[in-house]
Structure 1
Amino acid sequence: MLYGFLADAVLVVHGLFVLFVALGAALVIWRPRLAWLHLPALAWGAGIMLVGGICPLTPLENALRQAGGQQGYEGGFIEHYLVSALYPEGVTRRFQVGLGLLAVAWNALLYGIAWRRRARRA
């Protein structure tokens, strides 16, 4: 039971991290100092997708699930929880690179808005 709870906690933290990577630049528009947290998170998240890596939180969650008698899963967090819900046939390497590039482009757009907003105030 404890291992299942810990695995669920890792899942929640992982999900929040993915949301922060994807939408954190919107928070930077509101609070520019968050860029110091968001830019490294964005670099990590996009980098993992671009190189086809697995975030260390995924094996941690799987290990906790297995220790609690549950079954882990293959692949990464995004592939298992998000892409499998949207694209049940699975994710291709090309699609994964596209997600990484989309995350960078989306955040670059939001950082541009934040920069323009800050420049107007100055």
Structure 2
Amino acid sequence: MAYLLIGEAAMVVHFLFLVFMAVGGFLAWRWPRLIGAHLAVAAWGVFSVTTGAECPLTVVEDWGRRKAGERGLVPGGFIDHYIEGVVYPERHADLARLAVAVLVAVSWAGCLLLARRRRARTGRPGHGGAGSPPPVARG
């Protein structure tokens, strides 16, 4: 039972990771501090796609499922098992990757524009701004 729980938890975290990879830059529009985490996740995505590196979450899920007596993930891993052929046809894998890359690029462009607006409005990020009361001198 515990092994199955580990496999299921790894699967859920993996899905959340992929969603964050696709739309995390848009979340950073609201919460700018997320951009660093999104940069790291996107870098991992590029690295894994270009090198074929296996994701540690795939390894954990496969291990948990096999230890629980289930069939492990297909040889292609998480994406081949849950995404390709399920969410989109396998023959459109490159188009799906391109769509995610475009989403990420648009989100980052939006982050850059919003950061510039914040700096122009406040003079420096995260401080004061139009309509903010002047600092109170205390003595």
Largest Rg, 1 or 2: 2
In the other structure, the counterpart of 2:59 is: 59
Higher relative contact order (CA 8 A, sep 6+): 1
In the other structure, the counterpart of 2:84 is: 83
Say whether residues 1:73 and 2:73 are aligned partners.
yes
Paired with 2:42 and 2:6, the residues of 1 have a C-alpha distance of 25
Cα distance, 1:97–1:56 mapped onto 2, change above 3 Å: farther
Paired with 2:39 and 2:7, the residues of 1 have a C-alpha distance of 27
Q: Residues 50 and 97 of structure 1 are in contact (CA less than 8 Å); yes or no, is this contact kept in structure 2?
A: no
Cα distance, 1:50–1:96 mapped onto 2, change above 3 Å: farther
Cα distance, 1:53–1:101 mapped onto 2, change above 3 Å: farther
Say whether residues 1:118 and 2:119 are aligned partners.
no
Q: TM-score, normalised by structure 1?
A: 0.84
Q: Return 31-40 or 41-50, whichever deviates more.
A: 41-50
Paired with 1:113 and 1:87, the residues of 2 have a C-alpha distance of 27
Aligned residues: 118
Q: Return 112-121 or 27-36, whichever deviates more.
A: 112-121
In the other structure, the counterpart of 2:28 is: 28
Paired with 2:87 and 2:105, the residues of 1 have a C-alpha distance of 25
Which residue among 105, 114, 120 is the counterpart of 1:108? 105
Q: Residues 49 and 100 of structure 1 are in contact (CA less than 8 Å); yes or no, is this contact kept in structure 2?
A: no
Paired with 1:47 and 1:23, the residues of 2 have a C-alpha distance of 18
Query: Structure 2: where are the runs of 5+ without partners?
Result: 121-139
Report deviation, 1:111: 1.0
Which residue type is aligned with residue 65 of structure 1? R
Q: Residues 28 and 34 of structure 1 are in contact (CA less than 8 Å); yes or no, is this contact kept in structure 2?
A: yes
Report deviation, 1:97: 4.4
